[in-house]
Amino acid sequence: MTDKFEPTIIGFTCNWCSYRAADLAGTARIKYPPNVRLVRLMCSGRLDPTFVFKALSSGADGVIITGCHPGECHYLEQNYKALRRFQLMRRTLVGLGLEPGRVKLVWASAAEGARFASEINIFVEEIRALGPLHWGIPSDLLPVPNEPLEEVPA
Amino acid sequence: MSGKPKFAMYWAASCGGCEIAVLNTNEKILDVDANFDVVFWPVAMDAKYKDVEAMEDGSILLTLFNGGIRTDENEHIAKLLRQKSKILVAFGSCANEGCVPGLANFSSIKDMVDTAYSTVSTDNPTGIRPVTAYDMPEGTIRLPALSPILKTLDQVVDVDYYMPGCPPESHQIAAVIDLVIQVLQGKAELPPKGSVIGAGNSTVCDECKRTRNVKTITSFKRIFGQELDPELCLLEQGIPCNGIATRSGCNARCPSAGAQCIGCYGPAEGVVDYGARLISAFASVIDAKEPDEIDHILDGIPDPAGQFYRFNLAGSLLRANKSAWEKEKA
């Protein structure tokens, strides 16, 4: 047991680039913190902002969205759509009082396993610095905070 | 007392526009009187809460409940009417999704009270603040207490039907009255519990007569002072029109009159979070690929949270601004 705050982070990955980057990080045995729960989408363009709102309202402390680099989308242009949605969504979330740093968009190609892991490391530390969010949930209904997460040996 | 079924209508945190809309059904209101015994309707007749408390559970057939739940009084009456009513309808945008009173969820109670009592426009030299209980020689006077955030009716009690609109259109109300009367006469059946009544199943765009093409937006602008094409889709002309995510049922009144849809009929069928759907729709038709260029276009929507949640904040996934609940929780 440590007193360190362990954030809960939801990560959205695209099937063709960033999910493969995560996979590559795994096969290359690159460690990154277990705080992030990855959800695979076919494309970052599939990311409905509802998913992010749902994650934040259900107890996530941060959300990271990942996709192919601009110009490299498997579906040609959908990552640009994701970029525009992200920018408008972040403005809206700031209007609702959220710290802008709790949502992040990162591009990662299928070859960038090491970079993917390092981006996750950075984001976890950023969210740890921001502290718990626990959006609107009465504190007595929350699970015991700081339940230590088990590190899976590589 | 007649043997007619009983009818009630109540207003919680609302403006009274829903009652006006009911009266705007004109002679149809006589059908309500002919078929129902109105037992409780604070805006139209004198009745006390204790009269309602004395009624048998489930003895009111139909209750139209408008307004959001903002005070402990609102919550008490919502629970009381739920207990006494067979059919409870969330009537109008406030009861469904918070509406304009729900915009209070952007601020904490303290910020709101400060604005009302301590800004330059208020002459309040002694710094008076509202209190919920005040001791007088004759006894203690009480006022209902504000809850930290406004809740929708179904966040407090079980709701049978939802009737959206700010206010619901009178022709829709008339149609619902007709339906209920036909049910009473055994000529029709009630829709399944939880249905949205008195509205369409599609979006405002579906009812809008304006011409639509492929949308490529290079700037957003406010509607005031613009020379707009009267035949062309407003969103295509850079006006942030919410019709794309809003439930149909109003015959696209605002776009037909040259104003953008502001979303009073609430989320369209299948939409989980109204604002998220609008973010998705607006962002996908912006014609830009560079972050700076996108930001420049988005500057045309100066208050996105207000634009996307004008009617729906209390009913949305996040329900309120962080500042509204943060201190309450601490």
At A112-137, the pLDDT tens digits run: 999 999 999 999 999 999 999 988 76
pLDDT for res A137 = 63
pLDDT for res B329 = 61
Residue at B1 is within a domain: no
Residues B219 and B294 occupy one common structural domain? yes
Q: What is the mean pLDDT of residues A23-39?
A: 96
Residues B63 and B154 occupy one common structural domain? yes
Size of interface A-B (CB pairs under 8 A): 97
Q: Which member of A57, A88, A134 has the closest CB to residue B279?
A: A88
Residues B68 and B156 occupy one common structural domain? yes
Residues B141 and B158 occupy one common structural domain? no
Amino acid at A28: A
Q: Most B CBs within 10 Å: which of A92, A134, A137, as the mutation test of the B interface?
A: A92
Beta strands at B133-136 and B139-142: parallel, antiparallel or unpaired: antiparallel
The answer to whether B66 touches B92, Cβ cutoff 8 Å, is yes
Residues B172 and B59 occupy one common structural domain? yes
Q: Measure Cα distances from B256 to A10, B231, B261 in Å.
A: 42, 9, 10
If we measure between CA atoms, which residue out of A134, A67, A84, A125 comes closest to residue A101?
A125
CATH number of the CATH domain containing B74: 3.40.50.700
pLDDT for res B3 = 84
Strand partners, B161: B89
- The CATH code belonging to domain A10-138 is 3.40.50
Residues B138 and B75 occupy one common structural domain? no
pLDDT for res B120 = 85
Residues B243 and B114 occupy one common structural domain? no
B217 contacts in chain A (CB < 8 Å) = none
Question: Which range of residues forms the domain containing residue B124?
Answer: 107-147
By CA distance, what is B274's nearest residue in A?
Answer: A50
- As a whole number of angstroms, the distance between CA A102 and CA B186 comes to 56
Residues B92 and B111 occupy one common structural domain? no
Residues B113 and B230 occupy one common structural domain? no
Residue A154 CB partners (closer than 8 Å, separation 6+):
A29, A30, A31
By CA distance, what is A132's nearest residue in B?
Answer: B326
Residues B142 and B160 occupy one common structural domain? no
Q: Chain A residues with CB-CB distance to B under 8 A? A: 48-50, 52-54, 56-57, 70, 80-81, 83-85, 87-89, 91-92, 94-98, 134-136, 138-139
The answer to whether B242 touches B260, Cβ cutoff 8 Å, is yes
Q: How confident is the model at residue A146 (pLDDT cuts 50, 70, 90)?
A: very low
- Asked if the Cβ–Cβ distance from A49 to B322 is below 8 Å, we say no
Residues B116 and B179 occupy one common structural domain? no
Q: How confident is the model at residue A153 (pLDDT cuts 50, 70, 90)?
A: low
Average pLDDT of every residue of chain A: 90
By CA distance, what is B300's nearest residue in A?
Answer: A88
Higher pLDDT, A125 or A144: A125
Residue at B315 is within a domain: no
For B257, counting Cβ atoms within 10 Å of its Cβ (0-12 exposed, 13-18 middle, 19+ buried), the class is: exposed
Residue at B197 is within a domain: no
What's the structural domain count of chain B?
A: 3
- Asked if the Cβ–Cβ distance from B283 to A87 is below 8 Å, we say yes
Residues B237 and B95 occupy one common structural domain? no
Q: Measure Cα distances from A28 to A117, B27, B71 in Å.
A: 11, 77, 58
Q: How confident is the model at residue A154 (pLDDT cuts 50, 70, 90)?
A: low
pLDDT along chain B (330 residues), means of 10: 86 95 93 94 92 96 96 94 97 97 92 89 89 92 89 95 96 93 93 96 96 94 92 96 96 96 96 96 95 97 96 94 78
pLDDT for res A149 = 52
Strand partners, B8: B40, B63
By CA distance, what is B282's nearest residue in A?
Answer: A85
